[in-house]
Structure 1
């Protein structure tokens, strides 16, 4: 598959892209957007958590966390003030719980991890302002970086290894297939992690660590039933760990580290200097 001739984007394309940029900016600034995550506390035994009241432990049934507090602590779980003990069900459960501490601080439980632990993630809607967030720098829209490729499913998937931004041992990933596109006459092959009905491509390129965020970027794509897939690198985004150190993001696997520069999409977040 060869690259098609590059033409200037029409008004509808630019309006669609600008709408994507507005939605993206709103999402990172949201009360539980990436900028707002201020605490991720993994719980294995009864403990207190910095910045929030209550004593936190694993729930007796192992499906979330239990918080013990007095009414004076003003912890609200699923709309009820906690006076004694309450269960905080995991964010991915059938009945996820919400937690509110005050008018700008909320939380939910995530997990379990490989050791059966759950974590309390605490979100502060004032964090973006207090940290001096200004914007995410973005390359100008470039239609040349809308690549038309193919997705080839593979029985049993394609196994690969990847690291995480906060260290630790290598993780094992399985891509449901191979994504291919052509760049300057050469075939490029990528693997991806499943993400709902989309695929999450974690990649690095020749701009990484210089013009763009140090550990790489994300691109989400949806292959069609006929195996075709559009890779619009103008929608490449910085991972959430670029916006809060509380996230533990996947790093690009070896095969997704590209030798050429992709000057499209997000570059890096900009914060006011202290």
Structure 2
């Protein structure tokens, strides 16, 4: 009997993939997002009870509902008016509509509006999901790079998956690594204490998701940075069209293939379509 030998890095990668699978399947995972409704005036929102409007405090939304509607905000049943504070506020609110549906408020956008996001743990996408296709772990794609901070940052333009005008981004510096003797430069968006690299490569739209992929890195104090492309992930817009994901800026569109990391999500309905076509 042949014994399978694995490396610590491969074991860690397998654990990472399991954690990712659990995350996207969660009650507020990417598969569960079913509604993003921007609210500029008093309105009703399809699929959920209550009347929604900008909060008088200008830091979220206000919902008006009766006890029969069953809306719970921050543990309290709504019977009248309640303020739902934004997800990025000092005291973000959580909403429960029923056993499977929850929500929170995001914003403000460029117009000062907030939006209600509704998550359904029993969404169609969650029921149809069959996992994320990924390349086998390849230690060659764990790259050692450098991060050069730039005073004032490096400005760049990027699009969004749902269209619209180009956005202005600022990368706090330049990330560099070497591939086949050539130096590659990347820009990134700040993401907490990490940097979010949005990139495309020669596999994009063919072997991997057509919008591109994300890689999160954390530069060290000495300027070094690890770019483990085995941990490149598909964006959340690959699982719900309610997300509006950043597209790779021009400089992050690489001519060579990166056959590492996640490829694309797989859904039962796609398999059924393929089986029907073959039949």
Same fold (TM over 0.5): yes
- Tell me the number of residue pairs that the alignment of Structure 1 and Structure 2 aligns: 266
Partner of 1:62: 58
Q: Distance between the aligned counterparts of 1:23 and 1:268, measured in 2?
A: 16
Which ranges of structure 2 fall in alignment gaps of 5 or more residues?
273-279
User: Which of 100, 105, 124 in structure 2 is aligned with 1:104?
Assistant: 100
Q: Distance between the aligned counterparts of 2:89 and 2:60, measured in 1?
A: 9
User: Which of 138, 146, 154 in structure 2 is aligned with 1:142?
Assistant: 138
1:74 aligns with 2:70: yes
Q: Distance between the aligned counterparts of 1:159 and 1:130, measured in 2?
A: 37
Q: Is the 8 A contact 1:98 1:107 kept in 2?
A: yes
Q: Is the 8 A contact 2:125 2:240 kept in 1?
A: no
Q: Is the 8 A contact 2:25 2:126 kept in 1?
A: no
Partner of 1:133: 129
Any idea what the Cα deviations from partners look like across 1:38-93, whole Å, max 9, x if unmatched? 00000000111111000000000110000000110010001111000000000000
User: Which of 72, 77, 83 in structure 1 is aligned with 2:79?
Assistant: 83
Q: Distance between the aligned counterparts of 2:82 and 2:115, measured in 1?
A: 16
User: Which of 121, 143, 148 in structure 1 is aligned with 2:117?
Assistant: 121
Q: Distance between the aligned counterparts of 1:215 and 1:96, measured in 2?
A: 31
Moved over 2 A (4+): 128-131
Q: Distance between the aligned counterparts of 1:143 and 1:165, measured in 2?
A: 31
Q: Distance between the aligned counterparts of 1:191 and 1:271, measured in 2?
A: 32
Superposition map of 1:183-194 within 5 A: 183-194=179-190
User: Which of 204, 225, 229 in structure 1 is aligned with 2:225?
Assistant: 229
Q: Distance between the aligned counterparts of 1:218 and 1:11, measured in 2?
A: 25
Q: Distance between the aligned counterparts of 2:187 and 2:145, measured in 1?
A: 13
Q: Distance between the aligned counterparts of 2:105 and 2:125, measured in 1?
A: 25
Partner of 2:276: none
Q: Distance between the aligned counterparts of 1:161 and 1:172, measured in 2?
A: 5
Q: Is the 8 A contact 2:37 2:117 kept in 1?
A: yes
Q: Distance between the aligned counterparts of 2:228 and 2:146, measured in 1?
A: 13
Q: Distance between the aligned counterparts of 1:11 and 1:147, measured in 2?
A: 17
Q: Distance between the aligned counterparts of 1:188 and 1:202, measured in 2?
A: 14
Any idea what the Cα deviations from partners look like across 1:180-216, whole Å, max 9, x if unmatched? 0000010000000000010000000000000000010
Q: Distance between the aligned counterparts of 2:266 and 2:18, measured in 1?
A: 17
Cα deviation for residue 11 of structure 1 reads 2.2
TM-score (ref. length: structure 1): 0.95
Partner of 2:22: 26
Q: Distance between the aligned counterparts of 2:233 and 2:95, measured in 1?
A: 29
Which secondary structure does the structure 2 equivalent of 1:156 belong to?
Answer: strand
Which ranges of structure 1 fall in alignment gaps of 5 or more residues?
1-8
Any idea what the Cα deviations from partners look like across 1:216-271, whole Å, max 9, x if unmatched? 00000011100000100000000000010000000000000000000000000011
1:219 aligns with 2:215: yes
Partner of 1:5: none
Which secondary structure does the structure 2 equivalent of 1:96 belong to?
Answer: coil
Q: Distance between the aligned counterparts of 2:139 and 2:192, measured in 1?
A: 27
Q: Is the 8 A contact 2:31 2:125 kept in 1?
A: no
Partner of 1:36: 32
